[in-house]
Amino acid sequence: MQISLLQCQSSRDVQANLAFVDSQLKDLPREANEPQLVVLPECCLLFGSHESQQLEYAGSQHQSELKNALASMAKKYQVYFIAGTIPMRADDGRVFSRCYFFDDHGVTLGHYDKLHLFDVEVSDNTKTYRESDTFHPGDHISVIDTPFGKVGLAICYDIRFGDMFRALRLAGADYIALPSAFTKVTGEAHWQVLLQARAIETQCYLLGAGQWGQHNQGSRETWGHSMVVDPWGRVIAERATECGWVQAKVDLAELHRIRQQMPLMGHNRFREPQLK
């Protein structure tokens, strides 16, 4: 199976972002009849200079339009589609940062709402990030069965919480997709080492699709370096800068070999977390 991650430089212009994703899918390098899993980055259709701009698209009409547009692309280009994140209204006036997973007919296989919210201080132009002012955290993990294996979903800041990734592995994940928009400062320091650590610990393929570059006239800057990391911790595909595809062919036989030779889950003597 081929994994294809799309590195983006999304903006506040939803229609321009949709057009970019559509154009890239139209020219997606692929072999005939080969299963294709496409992963988009966090905030793929709306990347504001501040998270509060996600609220503008939280109305029922807008959020349905965004979801339907992504589902239509999955069907049009016949790809399994982990469609980054879009804002979906929560009951408390905030929004969920939601990642939908569509099959190659545009049918929704499942979704995941970001659990860990980025409330931190960063030494960049933005300085203070308060996702919890805008986003409502999710309340469960998500592992979705597909014809090519089980796919766990996580989003950006989640990567720093190893217990969550262990829970995804215990729930059966073979792959863990991570739509992201890491800041340039935090990405340069921690992005690759965290992806490799989570891949080694879980013995899963880690699929890190990121935003890259300066957004909205430089109000935000993201790290890029989208990459596929195998269950041994090797970076098997990467795009450091610029927009475009990161592609790798993966083989679950290699994953099973690694797990058989080093059965980490069976050796772990800590109590297993309670999974929903």
CA 185 vs CA 47, 56, 116, 188, 201: distances in Å = 18, 28, 19, 6, 25
Return the ∠ at Cα 183 (arms to 185 and 209), rounded to 5°: 125
**Residues acting as catalytic residues:** 42, 114, 156
Residue 43: both structure tokens together: 């905030």
Beta strands in 143-256 (DSSP E): 143-146, 149-153, 175-180, 205-210, 212-215, 220-223, 226-229, 235-239, 244-249
In sequence order, which residues have a C-beta less than 8 Å from that of residue 178 and are 6 or more positions away?
154, 155, 156, 158, 159, 195, 206, 207, 208, 209
Q: Which of 121, 125, 122, 53 is nearest to 87 (CA)?
A: 53
How far apart are the C-alpha atoms of 168 and 77, rounded to whole Å? 29
